[in-house]
């Protein structure tokens, strides 16, 4: 089937399908593949460009491949930038390609929340993870292209007796150019526009890009389709509308996009009090350090290594990759100091500290349809951040770093572990210079009743038959790991259920 863009729409277009899917990221793509191969007529609608518009700079990626131009911020205890991708392929176009499986303990907990539903138990999920991993080309990062930044993290953590290794990523053709977040220029990253979506299209699915859904059609108490505006990719002028009538509507616009759409469409109240509630973010900050030897943290596999501390089960440190311009800003300094930083930045290493958060936030919509986000930490999140930052300082020093940079207001450059620990203990660790979150989830949670969840264990909304959700918004809790692989696995299971 044809991959359609704004150029294929003029005026009002009406389509008929068995299933319409809103969003073409990991959840939408995985569901589309199963449903199309199962014989359903599938139409996928995507807000972003039909074809990648990659260029090696942040301004371009924010314009074309980030929701709301990369401007979303959750306000509350801190201002946290929230990243969510757009374009045919969704967030997989611009993520770091990390493919973690959700820990068994988390899945077992979900089984209890879902009334004993065995489909999400570890032993049931394992073959689905295997299937998706094979399709999207998950492999362990090759040491030959990992880069010194990743190798330093592994070396330092192992020197301290910690579990550490190179990560599994869906980058079977990775050449180590280090700009996954700006779109893969080599084609080495197996984002879903290169596998799951082509598989769905080969089975007859139609994909329409440049289309922002604003309405969910409801007839006779059941979801019956959607409609949206089609915009020119570059200048954003409206060129037409698309309406898709279907007996099954699947929302897969992400943990921000899906509840935002439900609010814009006027259905949030009907779907219960939990729509947009319980936002988890996996908030993170980082530690960097100056080495005597060359590192070039912008070269090598993007975020290609991790370490684990058994005493910190809710902390997941993994490599920080940063292009030269952003790194120079983070290092700070003016005049002669900035000049010295230019000479030093090729010797900088870095590591992110991501927390499996207990704090929560909300997603709703402003009057203009943009996302209204809030977020508040729990004390345990702050404690985990402090402990994770300290452990990461130790790992960096053990790996070869000579001087530490903790980019938190009131900390900055420190000499030695004692000074680093004292500064971290005294600082407000939520005041990280550039705190952001790229893993929004749990805003339309799966559960057993309308009072405490939005969708049932089969993915169908409690308050509206025919409406399903298959993205990271349905997670009952925070994962603690990067979500893309679990999103694809759960969407696969739910779509198989829709086939009956």
Would you please indicate which residues are annotated as catalytic (active-site) residues? 439
- Neighbouring CB atoms inside 10 A of 399's CB total 26
Matching residue, tokens 């294929």: 8
Instruction: Name the E strands within 356-399.
Output: 360-365, 371-376
Residues forming beta bridges with residue 238, ordered by sequence position: 231
- Neighbouring CB atoms inside 10 A of 214's CB total 14
Pick from 291, 356, 350: nearest CA to 318: 350
Q: Would you give the distance in Å from CA 461 to the centre of its chain?
A: 23
DSSP secondary structure code for residue 7 in this structure: G
Antiparallel, parallel or unpaired: β 412-414 and 222-231: unpaired
d(CA 245, CA 248): 9
The alpha-helical segments, DSSP class H, found in 203-309 are 254-264
Cα angle vertex 170, ends 202, 89, to 5°? 50
What backbone phi and psi angles, to 5 degrees, belong to 19? -135, 135
What backbone phi and psi angles, to 5 degrees, belong to 236? 65, 15
Q: Which two tokens stand for residue 349?
A: 């290493």
Q: Would you give the distance in Å from CA 484 to the centre of its chain?
A: 7
Distances from the Cα of 336 to the Cα of 339, 341, 343, 348, angstroms = 5, 9, 11, 18
3-state secondary structure (DSSP) of residue 4:
strand
3-state secondary structure (DSSP) of residue 229:
strand
Check if the beta carbon of residue 233 is closer than 8 Å to that of residue 251. Answer: no
Antiparallel, parallel or unpaired: β 305-308 and 42-45: unpaired
Pick from 101, 98, 481: nearest CA to 304: 98
């Amino acid at each position: 089937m044809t991959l359609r863009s704004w150029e294929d729409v003029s005026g009002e277009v009406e389509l008929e399908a068995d299933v319409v899917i809103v969003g073409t990221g990991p959840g939408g793509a995985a569901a589309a593949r199963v449903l199309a191969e199962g014989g359903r007529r599938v139409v996928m609608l995507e807000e972003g460009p039909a074809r990648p518009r990659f260029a090696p700079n942040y301004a371009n990626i924010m314009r074309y491949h980030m929701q709301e131009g990369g401007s979303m911020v959750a306000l509350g205890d801190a201002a946290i930038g929230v990243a969510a991708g757009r374009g045919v392929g969704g967030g997989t176009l611009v993520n770091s390609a990390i493919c973690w499986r959700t820990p068994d303990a988390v899945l077992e907990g979900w089984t209890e929340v879902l009334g004993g539903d065995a489909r999400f138990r570890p032993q049931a999920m394992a073959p689905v993870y295997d299937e998706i991993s094979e399709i999207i080309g998950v492999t362990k990062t090759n040491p030959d292209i990992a880069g010194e930044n990743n190798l330093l993290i592994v070396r330092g953590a192992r020197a301290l007796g910690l579990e550490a290794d190179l990560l599994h990523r869906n980058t079977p053709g990775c050449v180590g150019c280090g700009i996954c977040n700006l779109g893969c220029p080599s084609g080495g990253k197996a984002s879903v526009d290169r596998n799951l979506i082509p598989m769905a299209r080969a089975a007859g699915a139609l994909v329409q890009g440049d289309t922002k859904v604003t309405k969910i059609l409801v007839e006779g108490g059941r979801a019956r389709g959607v409609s949206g505006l089609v915009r020119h990719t570059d200048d954003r002028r409206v060129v037409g509308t698309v309406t898709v009538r279907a007996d099954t509507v699947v929302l897969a616009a992400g943990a921000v996009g899906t509840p935002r759409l439900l609010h814009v469409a006027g259905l949030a109240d009907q779907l219960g009090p939990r729509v947009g509630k319980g936002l988890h973010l996996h908030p993170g900050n980082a530690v960097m350090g100056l080495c005597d030897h060359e590192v070039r943290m912008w070269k090598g596999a993007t975020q290609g290594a991790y370490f684990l501390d058994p005493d910190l089960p809710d902390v997941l440190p993994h490599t920080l990759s940063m292009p030269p311009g952003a790194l120079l800003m983070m290092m700070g300094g003016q005049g002669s100091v900035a000049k010295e930083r230019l000479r030093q930045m090729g010797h900088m290493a870095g590591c992110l500290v991501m927390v499996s958060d207990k704090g929560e936030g909300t997603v709703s919509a402003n009057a203009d349809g943009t996302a209204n986000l809030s977020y508040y930490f729990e004390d345990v999140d702050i404690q985990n951040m402090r402990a994770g930052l300290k452990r990461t300082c130790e790992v960096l020093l053990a790996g070869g770093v000579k001087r530490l940079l903790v980019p938190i207001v009131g900390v900055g450059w420190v000499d030695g572990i004692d000074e680093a620990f004292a500064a971290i203990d005294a600082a407000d660790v939520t005041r990280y210079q550039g705190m952001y979150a790229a893993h929004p989830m749990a805003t339309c949670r799966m559960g057993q009743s309308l009072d405490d969840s939005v969708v049932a264990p089969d993915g169908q909304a409690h308050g509206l038959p025919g409406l399903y959700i298959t993205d990271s918004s349905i997670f009952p809790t925070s994962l603690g790991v990067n979500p893309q692989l679990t999103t694809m696995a759960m969407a696969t299971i739910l779509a198989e259920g829709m086939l009956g």
